[in-house]
Structure 1
């Protein structure tokens, strides 16, 4: 999964529409291979972002939580810890 797409489910405060749209944009960029669409593809690209954002919002509304509520600070701390573990495993350059 693309590292730029974040978990959006079961947060306090709830996930905003801006966060949903940003994730949808990242998804469409990833699957299309385009950071910005050409002039000929702007409409299709925008429509895809809208559709993915809508589907994501519907999904988040329909899920029923069975886990503890997440916080953005807690998720950042987990990501930092994962990064530190990844860096510790990486081979160190000679020098």
Structure 2
């Protein structure tokens, strides 16, 4: 089973990707509202995704989170799971 953080990470990645296709960056607040996750918890998850180069964080007035359009098709579910839960999820089977 995925952890709650991992489920939120998957949902957040999908939401960011959909908006990135439209050329829109999204704020942490928008993401937390969309995935129905507490803001502080969402911020921690987003940091993990940025640290693992799944999403990009852009600072400033027109900043937010995005994924490069060319990168979206190559992102695998396993990358998101590893970014949030590590590889321990595979060792319990």
Shorter-chain TM-score above 0.5: no
TM-score (structure 1 length as normaliser): 0.26
**Which is higher, the Rg of structure 1 or of structure 2?**
1
Q: Would you tell me which structure has more strand in proportion to its own residues? A: 2
